[in-house]
Structure formats: C-alpha cells, structure tokens
Amino acid sequence: MRAEVIDLSEYPLFTLSMARELLPRVWEILRKGNPIKFYGSLERLELLRFVSGMEFDSLEKSDAYHEPVMLREVLRTFEPLEGKILIDATCGLGGHTKALSEKVGPRGLILALEKDPESLQKAKENVSSANVVFYRGSFTEMKDIAEKLGIGPVDGVLFDLGLSSFLLEGSGRGFSYRKDEPLDMRFDPSSGRPALYYINRLDVEELESVIRLLGEERFARRIARAIREERDAAPLERTVDLNRAIERAVRRQHLLKAKMRVYQAFRILVNDELGTLKEGLLKALQVLKPGGILAVISYHSLEDRIVKTLSKLPGVEALYKKPVVPSDDEIIRNRRARSAKLRAIKKVGDIDEALFDDIVGAVVPSPLPRPAK
C-alpha cells in the first residue's frame, strides 16, 4: 500500500496551530488504515506525537529507534563510572547498556540481563562492546547468574521498568491495544500462561480485582462484567476482542485511558511484575557491594510505591530526596518518558531479608490471582 506523504515544514511549529491544522488530516488517513510518510525535522515529528498522544503504529518510517529514558540522569547517578562493574537488570534493546559500557571503559564490566529472547537478540546487535556480558534470564535470578559467571559483588544495578518499543510494536504478543494481535502479553513466551487464559477464566470479582488493583481503573466493575458478557458469546483471544469489551463498558471520553489501564493490569498479572520486582530488588541489594548503588526507573504508581519503600530499610540510604523526572526537552523527544521517575539508594549496611519482606511486601497489592508457574 502506497504511503501518503505529509511535509511537516508546511505547518507552523506551535502546539495549538499544529493540533488544529494537522491532526484532523492525520486522523483521517489513519482511520482509512493507510500508512503515512513524514518529511521534515525530527523535532516536528516528536512535537506532533507529543500533542496528539499517538504512537503512529502505521508510519512507514516510524519511531522504531530506541532512546533510553533519562540516560543523562542515570549516568550521573552512578558516577564516577570508570572501571565499575554494573548490572543492567532490564537490558531491553540495550540503550542504557551501551552508554554504561562506554563510560566504564575496558577495565569495567556490564552484565546485561533480559528475559525476552527477541529483545536480547536485538540488544546484542545494537551493542558490540567487549566489556558487556549478555545473559538471558530474569532479574530475580541476578544473584545466582552473577555468581555463576564469577561476577560480583557489583558497584551498581539499574532497573528500567518501562516496556520497550519492540515489545509494544514488534513482538506480536498483544501488549498494545492499538494492534490486532493474540492476547499473550508474556515477556518470556516460553513460560507461564498468556493473558487470554486469565481473561477467559477469572470470574467477575477476580477480573474486577485485577483491573482495579493492577490497573487502578475506576470502571473496573463495568469492564469486568463486559468481559464476561463478551466471552459468553465467544472466547476473547485477540486484542480487538478485549477492546470491544472495554468499549462496551466505558464512554468515549474515558476510553483511551481505560484501555491503557486494562492492558497494564493484565500485563502485570501475566508476568507477576510486582512480585518479581520485589524479589528482584532484594537480589539487587544482596549482590551490591557496600557503597554500591541501586537505581530504578519506574513508570506507574504501583512500581514507584514499591521502589520508594526501599528507603525505609535499615542498611540503605536514599540518594535523592525526591524522584528525578525527565526534562521537558526529553519528554518532547521521547513521549514514553513522560511518566518516568528515577529513584536511587546506596547500600550502607547488611540487608535483613525478613525485614525486607515485611516492609516492601506490605505495599505489593494482594490478594490477587497469581499466574501459574
């Protein structure tokens, strides 16, 4: 299908003007299902993305590049970096890994962990540094992996909890409501149950609990009932099926956020993200040397609440009084950074595992249906 061409230089670089003049044309093209090819500066394309909220899934030349979130702030958090041994616990496509490897130099080392096999392969293609060791595995296993490889204790651990652009746009596993894909949502497609398993088997009360607690969605009850009504007619197996249920329950003005929250809720459930985050943070503190730094970039309040609680632990010291947030310039360049928060702590003493479970475990939402192992 031939792409329609839009020259961004024809439009004034003012947010309101761009929104009024350009967006109706873009929406009409996308509504027809046609791809779009943009000409003009990257800044104008990013501004269009920012004011519209669109991810441009149908672009012929899309934003498939990977820009690591708050890279400057992450590097500053771990400084000085020369010669350090670090773990990138959520390697993704390797953005942070690459920058950190350049800063630690030949005397340093980065252990890059990634659970998703396709993302890991792309990271290896993006990062060719000799001081990076890639390993497929969960960050809940980082202590065992580090010991197996003879690495550690380490100077720092980084978690970037955001969903990579590849998983959203290229994995085909139903992470985005904007695509017609199977309702899978597993980070590691070789283990666990897919989202459709829970969507089609949980009762209304369980569905409501998942959507309300993990998605923080106020229309959780309505959506849970709509899911049941839709699956009574036929199983919900694809994203369009789940979208239809949400659209049945929620008015148009609330629909976009409701879809985002419902997909977040089932993704967290499928991957047990909050439980594994709690476990992974403990492993990170255990593998850190005294004086080592743990830095975490979170993207929603459930994650941030868990990370924030770490500062209450004996044996750690918060580096920042408040979370570090992206600059306005970065948000315009990379809209996915808009909700990011960076918190960092320094390990100054021993970590009591039982106390960790009491303090951090208290903020992990429960009771919830847990994924089958």
- Which amino acid, one-letter code, is at 353? E
Provide the number of structural domains found in the chain: 3
Q: Using CA atoms, how far apart are residues 45 and 284, in angstroms rounded to an integer? A: 38
The pLDDT, as a whole number, for residue 373 is 43
Kindly list the distances between the CA atom of residue 194 and the CA atoms of 39, 198, 236, 276, in Å, as whole numbers in the listed order: 39, 8, 12, 17
The pLDDT, as a whole number, for residue 66 is 63
Q: Render each residue's pLDDT in the chain as its tens digit; 373 residues.
A: 566 667 666 665 555 566 667 777 777 777 777 777 666 555 566 666 666 665 554 443 333 346 799 999 999 999 999 999 999 999 998 999 999 999 999 999 999 999 888 889 989 999 989 999 999 999 999 999 999 999 989 999 999 998 876 677 667 899 988 889 999 999 888 889 999 999 999 999 999 999 999 999 999 999 999 999 999 999 999 999 999 999 999 998 899 899 999 999 999 999 999 999 999 999 999 999 999 999 999 999 999 999 999 999 999 999 999 999 999 888 877 777 889 999 999 999 999 999 999 999 999 987 454 544 4
- Pairing state between β 341-347 and 316-318: antiparallel
CB contact at 8 A, 116 and 190: no
Of the candidates 261, 283, 313, which is a domain's last residue?
A: 261
CB count in 10 Å sphere of residue 30 = 17
Considering the domain architecture, whether residues 188 and 248 belong to the same structural domain is answered as yes
Considering the domain architecture, whether residues 207 and 332 belong to the same structural domain is answered as no
In a domain, 60, yes or no: no
Domain that includes residue 17, residue range: 4-52
In a domain, 245, yes or no: yes
Considering the domain architecture, whether residues 150 and 299 belong to the same structural domain is answered as yes
In a domain, 371, yes or no: no
The pLDDT, as a whole number, for residue 336 is 77
The pLDDT, as a whole number, for residue 330 is 84
Considering the domain architecture, whether residues 153 and 290 belong to the same structural domain is answered as yes
Q: For 140, which DSSP code? A: G
Considering the domain architecture, whether residues 161 and 180 belong to the same structural domain is answered as no
Considering the domain architecture, whether residues 84 and 18 belong to the same structural domain is answered as no
Task: Give the CATH number for residue 221.
Answer: 1.10.150.170
Task: Give the CATH number for residue 309.
Answer: 3.40.50.150
Q: Using CA atoms, how far apart are residues 84 and 254, in angstroms rounded to an integer? A: 47
The pLDDT, as a whole number, for residue 24 is 77
The pLDDT, as a whole number, for residue 41 is 59
- Which amino acid, one-letter code, is at 217? E
CB count in 10 Å sphere of residue 123 = 25
Of the candidates 238, 261, 284, which is a domain's last residue?
A: 261
Considering the domain architecture, whether residues 154 and 282 belong to the same structural domain is answered as yes
Considering the domain architecture, whether residues 161 and 290 belong to the same structural domain is answered as yes
Considering the domain architecture, whether residues 98 and 236 belong to the same structural domain is answered as no
Kindly report the pTM of this predicted structure: 0.79
Considering the domain architecture, whether residues 194 and 232 belong to the same structural domain is answered as yes
Considering the domain architecture, whether residues 20 and 102 belong to the same structural domain is answered as no
In a domain, 43, yes or no: yes
Considering the domain architecture, whether residues 209 and 351 belong to the same structural domain is answered as no
